[in-house]
């Protein structure tokens, strides 16, 4: 299916929507207030951003602001299609996008926290420390208990994280603490950056898996645990575990 046309809206709360795409199993978001709306992530390039902008316009005529959960291209590089508007992000997100050569950059910067008024609805932006990247933002819609977690959570079919969840800018040691802070918001619904929206139990599962991976990595790096034992103790498949632990896969491993 054409990646431009495979999107579908999923209602996750009153006036709060997630838009799902088959490409990369991506999920972006939309919060609608009385006379304004907030778009959460913008897809991977200006063409994909234009598709999302048109899809938003099919739902609401209200003027929009944008928040970027992090700088990875599939979430942030469609920003130009929404400008001019207020565009919120962590300073590290702006820096990473600039380093990637992006010309459309967010101007409203959130170091730790910001409170937005989206057409009369309070929306909180929070940075919970280095995790999937060093600049992840979480979007909390408290009046309906929805949290857009970006790639702090990923909901792979049949599981959670994939090997692609763990990159050069990932801080595995502090990632579990960031998810703990999501759980402390007492969400009714968590929207992962990839995969279907889920309940808080899924966020708890992600936390436990990340905590186990962080322990395994610490023990492997200290020379206390052989690679094979780390793979055996991991709750995730070998390919995912190797990526999380910063180890190279061997050709005989799945």
- Kindly state the DSSP code that residue 198 receives in the 8-state scheme: B
pLDDT exceeding 90 applies to what percent of the chain? 93
- Kindly state the DSSP code that residue 159 receives in the 8-state scheme: S
- Which pLDDT belongs to residue 254? 41
Residue 82's contacts (CB-CB under 8 Å, 6 or more residues apart) are: 39, 42, 49, 53, 64, 66
| CA-to-CA separations, 55 to 15, 43, 104, 105, in angstroms, rounded | 15, 12, 20, 22
pLDDT interval class at 250 (50, 70, 90): low
* Chain centroid offset of residue 24 CA: 12
Give the pairing of strands 64-67 and 87-89.
Answer: parallel
- Which pLDDT belongs to residue 158? 67
- Which pLDDT belongs to residue 157? 74
Give 116-140 pLDDT, tens digit per residue: 999 999 999 999 999 999 999 999 9
C-alpha–C-alpha distance, residues 153 and 174, integer Å: 14
Give the residue from 210, 156, 158, 135 showing the smallest Cα distance to 179.
210
3-state secondary structure of 116: strand
| CA-to-CA separations, 13 to 138, 153, 181, 197, in angstroms, rounded | 17, 19, 21, 11
Half-sphere exposure for 132 (CA within 13 Å, toward CB): 26
Map out the domains of the chain with their CATH numbers.
Answer: 8-244 (3.60.15.10)
- Which pLDDT belongs to residue 129? 98
Give the residue from 162, 136, 161 showing the smallest Cα distance to 150.
136
Give 186-225 pLDDT, tens digit per residue: 999 999 999 999 999 999 999 999 999 999 999 999 999 9
Q: Which residues in 130-183 belong to E strands, given as ranges? A: 138-141, 146-154
Mean pLDDT throughout 140-156?
96
Is the CB of residue 43 less than 8 Å from the CB of residue 24? no
Question: Hunting for tokens 């599939």 — which residue is that?
Answer: 74
Predicted TM-score (pTM) of this structure:
0.95
Is pLDDT above 80 for 65?
A: yes
């Amino acid at each position: 299916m054409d990646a431009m046309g495979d999107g579908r809206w999923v209602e996750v709360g009153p006036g709060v929507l997630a838009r799902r795409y088959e490409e990369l199993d991506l999920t972006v978001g939309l919060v609608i207030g009385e006379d304004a709306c907030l778009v959460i992530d913008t897809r991977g390039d200006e063409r994909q951003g234009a598709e999302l902008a048109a899809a938003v316009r099919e739902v609401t005529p209200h003027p929009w602001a944008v928040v970027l959960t992090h700088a990875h291209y599939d979430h942030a590089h469609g920003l130009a299609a929404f400008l001019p508007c207020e565009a919120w992000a962590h300073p590290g997100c702006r820096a990473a996008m600039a380093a990637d050569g992006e010309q459309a950059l967010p101007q409203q910067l959130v170091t730790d926290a910001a409170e937005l008024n989206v057409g009369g609805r309070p929306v909180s932006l929070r940075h919970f420390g280095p995790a999937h990247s060093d600049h992840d933002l979480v979007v909390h819609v408290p009046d309906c208990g929805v949290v857009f977690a970006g790639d702090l959570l990923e909901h792979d079919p049949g599981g959670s994280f994939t090997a692609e969840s763990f990159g050069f800018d990932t801080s595995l040691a502090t990632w579990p603490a960031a998810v703990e802070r999501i759980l402390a918001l007492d969400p009714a619904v968590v929207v992962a950056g990839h995969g279907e929206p889920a309940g808080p139990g899924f966020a708890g599962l992600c936390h436990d898996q990340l905590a186990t991976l962080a322990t395994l990595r610490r023990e492997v790096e200290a020379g206390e645990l052989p690679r094979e034992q780390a793979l055996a103790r991991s709750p995730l498949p070998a390919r995912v575990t190797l990526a999380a632990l910063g180890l190279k896969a061997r050709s005989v491993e799945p």
